[in-house]
Amino acid sequence: MKYEQQPPILVVFGGRPGTGKTTLARKLTMRLGATYLRIDAIEQAMQAAGLTVGETGYAIANALAAENLKPGRIVIVDCVNPVLASRTGWRKTAAQNAARLVEIELVCSDPALHRRRAEDRLPDIGGHKLPAWDEIMSRDYEPWDREHLVLDTAAGTLDRLVERAEAYVRGDID
């Protein structure tokens, strides 16, 4: 039997902390059998090693994504992706690796629910300090500059949101 390689896909999640990116991205990763990259894990490992984080976490994640796209994998990136510069980096990584880029932004339209989620969650990475609500809301977060899927985690069940994300990745919805 001859194996036919599928084109690679780079799925990049973005959204403010506490909107549900990690939960949704992990579930989608399992459904698609994809490679999962989380900026928080990379940045925490760097901090634990005494390294300065800055833009370096995103640079490392882009390099890891590129290596996983080369053999035709689906790569799912879980990050805040707050500014055009970070989004441009993902676009460049996809283009350089002939990958289809899928951009998904998570929002929580209910501010009280978003705050409750942000304040009630516990870190799942050793040593990781989660941002406080005021930090979340005062961070730079630029509007997205092109079409992408927006999922409102206040308006649907996790299973339904994952189904929509999967359909978008597969090209079944615009």
End-to-end CA distance of the chain: 34
Q: State the chain's maximal CA–CA distance in angstroms.
A: 56
CATH of domain 14-170: 3.40.50.300
In angstroms, rounded to a whole number, what is the distance separating the alpha carbons of residues 78 and 25?
Answer: 6
* Sign for the pseudo-dihedral over CA of 11, 16, 17, 23: negative
pLDDT tens per residue, range 59-74: 999 999 999 999 999 9
In angstroms, rounded to a whole number, what is the distance separating the alpha carbons of residues 63 and 161?
Answer: 28
Strand partners, 119: none
* Sign for the pseudo-dihedral over CA of 14, 38, 125, 60: negative
Please compute the mean of the pLDDT values over residues 79-89 and round it to a whole number. 94
Position 1 pLDDT exceeds 70: no
Strand partners, 100: 9
pLDDT tens per residue, range 117-154: 999 998 888 888 888 999 999 999 999 999 999 999 99
In angstroms, rounded to a whole number, what is the distance separating the alpha carbons of residues 12 and 3?
Answer: 27
Range list of β-strands (E), the chain: 9-14, 35-38, 74-78, 100-107, 149-152
pLDDT value, residue 23: 96
The total of other beta-carbon atoms located within 10 Å of residue 34's CB is 20
pLDDT value, residue 128: 83
Position 3 pLDDT exceeds 60: no
Position 173 pLDDT exceeds 80: no
pLDDT tens per residue, range 24-72: 999 999 999 999 999 999 999 998 998 887 888 999 999 999 999 999 9
